[in-house]
Structure 1
């Protein structure tokens, strides 16, 4: 399932998949798979993506990522 919250954070920053991947030091294809919900990042990668897009890295591991928590 697509991580719409992650797409939204990326759009808010105005960056592409490639730019996020470059800043997080991962491959673009891997980032795209994470965003599409096809793969889960390791905590280390989650932290780098979260730092790049300015959100709490634990959102990746929340059982039910609610809209309210995403906006905190």
Structure 2
């Protein structure tokens, strides 16, 4: 779960459907992104970030993206 993303959405009083529509993606895809089961492409990350007013690179920072891949072991 990307709790930080959900918190940003709720702070702006937006539904998942509203964020998805403003970002040009389906609500179900946005839900997967927020739940951490899907990682957005750079293009989608930029659109969601613009909608919710944050830096799109946050999706790809270790402390945010590694949590969704907790079952994946690091390659040494």
Q: TM-score, normalised on structure 1?
A: 0.87
The separation in 1 between residues aligned to 2:54 and 2:8, in whole angstroms, is: 8
Give the aligned CA root-mean-square deviation in angstroms: 0.5
Offset at residue 62 of structure 1 (A): 0.1
Give the 5 Å matches for 1:21-36: 21-36=20-35
Offset at residue 64 of structure 1 (A): 1.2
Which residue in 1 is equivalent to 2:62?
A: 63
The separation in 1 between residues aligned to 2:60 and 2:23, in whole angstroms, is: 18
Which residue in 2 is equivalent to 1:49?
A: 48
| Structure 1 stretches of 4+ moved >4 Å | none
Radius of gyration: which is bigger?
2
The one-character-per-residue Cα deviations of 1:14-50 (angstroms, maximum 9, x if unpaired) are 0000000000000000000000000000000000000
Equivalenced residue count is: 64
